[in-house]
Amino acid sequence: MNDNFKKIIDEIQILRQRLHREPELSYKEFKTTRMIRKTLEEWSIPFYPFQNLDTGGYAEIGSGKTLLYRSDIDALPIIENPDHDFCSISDGVMHACGHDYHTAIGLGLLRYFQFFPEKLNGKLRVIFQPAEEATPTGAAEVIKENIWNDAIAILGIHVNSEDTPGQFSLSKMAANGSNTTVEIHLKGPGGHTSRPDQSVDLILITCEYVSLMHSFIKNKIDPRDTVSFTFGKIAGGHVKNAIPQSMELGGTLRTHSNDVLDQARRLILKFSQNFATLHDMQINVAFPTSCPVAINDSKLVSKFIDYFSKQKDQQLIILPKPSMGADDFSFYLDRVPGLYVRVGGAGKGAAHTGDFIINEALIGPAIKHLTGFIEYFFRAE
């Protein structure tokens, strides 16, 4: 067992390095898909491309009740720090969110159960999902594929630079935040800066709008609930002595509950309407994309913790406050109960930056414990 396990980990490490070297952007993961397909063919595991997408696909092993594992396979338009090992050779593209690990580990799970079929008391289907980082997101397409009818649960992971390799963190409720994009367009008549009284002093009014809306939302939402509403973009005006006719704001609205998300959206619309009337101006609000909250299934959370307790490895489990980051894994939870776990990787540099690095030492414990959990999951079913 040890020799074979070591062989699998060595193989997966090399695959991870290859994936890291050749990252591809969302919906363009053609080489990545070929690499996955070729690897699986070498192992004599059939690969099935998706019907509704040009990239990605799935593979499965075993028979009976089906557990899904989601690997996201896309990278980001980020320039990698050239001092890194196995640095990206794709210009301006980098696996800066760890999806190279998610993909390699997905392959590793299949490889493991190919070596140890007696440990798999069901069917494991690994989804290689394109475009987690994009909007519209890949999961919203994968959900339409014909791969869900026999599924009883889905497992998803994300590498986490805060914990050390071998640690696994999960939340008992929201695994992730929702992420709704917000676009706001404020319009006034414009005018000479000498006569703001005859116009709408749009830059001043926009500053007030942002600040008062935050107070309004804060006062209307139950203080026990969490809302993060933050703008990342403001644009408007280009002449020092002219009041602009339009200002644009762009941001994200994040919560840990879909009900709170609905409430926050209604509050933003109500406040904007009333504020516009007060100032004789127009405010248009749009929420062009939205990724729902991912809520972990409580039975799966208990099973995951039980597995570690039975191994006498409960010290490896961390139960942190839920993250406010979003992952389109949440789309799958409409179809099937799911569990989203963060896998410690003692990283350096922030995710989504050219400095992001995750420690390769995570691969061994990740494959050991995820396969151990999958074995336990089917035995407990």
Binding residues for Zn ion, rule: CB under 5 A, are: 97
d(CA 164, CA 347): 8
Among 194, 201, 273, 288, smallest CA distance to 236 is for 201
For the chain, the C-alpha Rg in angstroms (whole number) is 24
| Closer of 38 and 352 to Zn ion (Cβ) | 352
Q: What's the closest the beta carbon of residue 327 comes to Zn ion, in angstroms?
A: 6
Residue 129: phi and psi, rounded to 5, are -95, 125
| Closer of 159 and 283 to Zn ion (Cβ) | 159
| Closer of 77 and 189 to Zn ion (Cβ) | 77
Q: What's the closest the beta carbon of residue 133 comes to Zn ion, in angstroms?
A: 5
Contact between 53 and 144 under an 8 Å Cβ cutoff? The reply is no
Q: What's the closest the beta carbon of residue 138 comes to Zn ion, in angstroms?
A: 12
Among 168, 102, 155, smallest CA distance to 336 is for 155
Cβ-proximal residue to Zn ion, closest one: 97
d(CA 318, CA 348): 20
Structure tokens at 253: 């609205």
From residue 376, give the alpha-carbon distance in Å to each of 127, 137, 381: 21, 32, 9
Structure tokens at 366: 């990740």
| Closer of 81 and 114 to Zn ion (Cβ) | 81
| Closer of 97 and 174 to Zn ion (Cβ) | 97
Structure tokens at 296: 């972990």
Q: What's the closest the beta carbon of residue 195 comes to Zn ion, in angstroms?
A: 48
| Closer of 97 and 126 to Zn ion (Cβ) | 97
| Closer of 78 and 260 to Zn ion (Cβ) | 78
Structure tokens at 356: 């992001």
Contact between 170 and 158 under an 8 Å Cβ cutoff? The reply is no
Contact between 361 and 6 under an 8 Å Cβ cutoff? The reply is no
| Closer of 97 and 358 to Zn ion (Cβ) | 97
Q: What's the closest the beta carbon of residue 171 comes to Zn ion, in angstroms?
A: 16
- The CA dihedral of 224, 336, 138, 168, to the nearest 10 degrees, is 60
Structure tokens at 258: 């879909």
Q: What's the closest the beta carbon of residue 50 comes to Zn ion, in angstroms?
A: 19
Q: What's the closest the beta carbon of residue 100 comes to Zn ion, in angstroms?
A: 10
Q: What's the closest the beta carbon of residue 238 comes to Zn ion, in angstroms?
A: 33
Structure tokens at 246: 């339009």
Instruction: Identify the three-state secondary structure at position 171.
Output: coil
